[in-house]
Chain A
């Protein structure tokens, strides 16, 4: 069985991003892998040893600050889970909490510090449609996403998405998508695992391979997802756009 912890699901719940976790559960179950999602929040005691993947989605800044307060309690457990190569999928502004600090005007908020970056809140959200290439995908397939990003990240972490249209993780770069051990973090919304079936398959493989040896994969049933992705590119992606 694969156990997923959807953390702070009732505080960090913007932009329909919990679709990521629903998609992941369906993909795992389509392979015959029993999957359990626990919805955990501030009133729950979280055992980080008990799960294979942790997910946190975007939230309002107010809720982010509430959540960050609780996350500090688990700082050592989170570090251990990270170095134990447990999976983290962290999207939208939830990503900020895992860096060194968040700068909001004259205020500086300490992050839980497992990744090497500083997040800076912006006066206006960065909003754009994003097309990217992903170095881990064998196909030429473009990664689609949307940005409603309220901060930028100055980071030395490895970035695995090369953005060919839209905004990067900060104003100076055309790259996105932090990857460090099995921690995946991105501002890209979509939900990205729904809108990009290739990424969903990739993560499903990684998760299953981390638990089971020589797993016998069946075909994924992602017909609608693939059609939605391909139609979208056909309709809206202009390769000659400058």
Chain B
């Protein structure tokens, strides 16, 4: 039965390759023939899984590419195929007909809702849960529902690798013992002041007393303790002590490690990859070298473009995920000069027939009140919804400009503004906007 299932899947994979069409179909068919096929495959010694609301793709890519540099053969699913069928298809490609995975390591990025189907079957030694944040409310409901789904995937033989700065992830510590932590120490960008309003958890996950913070990095991320039951930020094995955003370099356990772009979430992704690579037994000096060799600017996430004697920061965000937008606002908050901000998207979501906009009110646009903003440019079909959101944040309505198309908005930026620009865009506007401003430059 096992051999038959693998054979069928492999034939479909082969046909897909001839037709130059990759898909999740082989995994899908294999699961229909034998729903337990994934657990029947013989895994290599190294199996690593990463899940969470964001950062899965960057973290797994860095781990997989670093392992390849050590001449390991690596099975790694690319973003977009992170459900059980996609993961199974990827693994079956590297499996012998008798069900033995031929590579040295399996590195899996897994959707939060599907981890319960995948982890028990592939038994990862290390599981990273990057974060559990507000994300796709129509699909996910809320973060507690996501937490409960991930929890179903974890067994006591897996070691969790978690961000100690995130009190929400301490929920796992109430149920599991094998946890290794990473964290970012107090630094010049941390503060005592809470900039964000809509926080997932600021009450102790054990006793529901309000947490005290020594310092905060972002949202509810920082150094917390509970005065009632004494739950507190756990000690971490991997710690960032210095951040140099200008050079895109951080210190992890005294090693100088590169980050792809100067934003806090890039630090956490790199730190998670560093932690996992160290935990599987690679010397930390070697890990540093591997990460540095595999860290390149990622202009799809963050692009600082010289334009018209100033800088345009093009920032990738995910609609329906307020935390990604808050990270962009955190970056903007480091810049004290006058600026223009442009916000927009092509579509709210490609996933559903309906449109939810409530997540716009989970984003802390109120932070913009701390800044001298020359223009607030709202662009796209929902431009007036964005304008309304900014108005509700008590921003000056005279600074708000609405444009239906990116072309009109870009013309306005070119002709009527002089200062640096923060383009806080959904991913579907990042490429078109970048292309347009580059064309304007060449005019």
Contacts and interface: CB of A to CB of B under 8 A. Distances in A.
A150 B145 CA distance: 11
A195 B357 contact: yes
Interface stretch (B42-50, B196-204, B293-301): B196-204
Nearest to A11: B203
Top 7 nearest A-B pairs by Cβ distance?
A: A16-B361, A129-B354, A19-B361, A228-B384, A227-B384, A60-B144, A15-B358
Interface string B324-367: 00000000000000000000000000000011111111110000
B199 to A, nearest CB: 7
A224 B393 CA distance: 13
B381 interface: yes
B361 A61 contact: no
A141 interface: no
Nearest to A128: B354
A231 B384 contact: yes
A184 B311 CA distance: 48
Contacts of A10: 199, 202-203, 210
Given A16-B360, A26-B394, A42-B210, 12 more contacts: A15-B361, A16-B322, A16-B358, A43-B210, A127-B138, A148-B141, A148-B358, A189-B356, A191-B358, A228-B387, A228-B388, A232-B385
A90 interface: no
Interface string A155-199: 000000000000000000000000000000000011100110000
Contacts of B355: 129, 146, 232, 236
A45 to B, nearest CB: 15
Contacts of B356: 129, 146, 148, 189
Nearest to A66: B208
A192 B208 CA distance: 30
Given A26-B392, A43-B210, A228-B382, A190 B354 contact: no
B290 interface: no
A194 B381 contact: no
Given A224-B387, A224-B397, A228-B382, A22 B360 contact: no
A58 B136 CA distance: 16
A66 B143 CA distance: 17
23 contacts: A10-B202, A10-B203, A11-B203, A14-B142, A15-B361, A17-B358, A18-B198, A18-B361, A26-B392, A41-B210, A62-B144, A66-B208, A127-B138, A127-B354, A129-B356, A148-B141, A189-B358, A224-B387, A224-B388, A228-B382, A228-B385, A231-B381, A235-B381
A13 interface: yes
**Interface SS, A side:** mixed
B251 interface: no
Contact of B141 (A150, A224, A225): A150
Interface of A: 10-11, 13-19, 22-23, 26, 41-43, 60-62, 66, 125, 127-129, 146, 148, 150, 189-191, 194-195, 221, 224-225, 227-228, 231-232, 235-236
B198 A16 contact: yes
B203 A60 contact: no
Contacts of A236: 355
B391 interface: yes
Task: Indicate the member of A26, A194, A225 with the most B CB atoms within 10 Å.
Answer: A194
B137 interface: yes
Nearest to A65: B208
Contact of A16 (B141, B203, B362): B362
B400 interface: yes
Contacts of B322: 16
Contacts of B387: 224, 228
Interface in B354-409: 354-363, 381-382, 384-385, 387-389, 391-394, 397, 400, 402
A148 B360 CA distance: 15
Contacts of B202: 10
A60 B358 contact: no
Contacts of B144: 60-62
A224 to B, nearest CB: 4
A146 B358 contact: yes
A43 B358 CA distance: 28
A228 B378 CA distance: 12
A62 B134 CA distance: 16
Contact of A22 (B358, B382, B392, B402): B392
B362 A23 contact: no
A125 B138 CA distance: 9
A222 B310 CA distance: 35
B168 to A, nearest CB: 11
Contacts of A66: 203, 208
A48 B161 CA distance: 46
Contacts of B354: 127-129, 146
Contacts of B210: 10, 41-43
Nearest to A190: B358
A67 to B, nearest CB: 11
B150 to A, nearest CB: 15
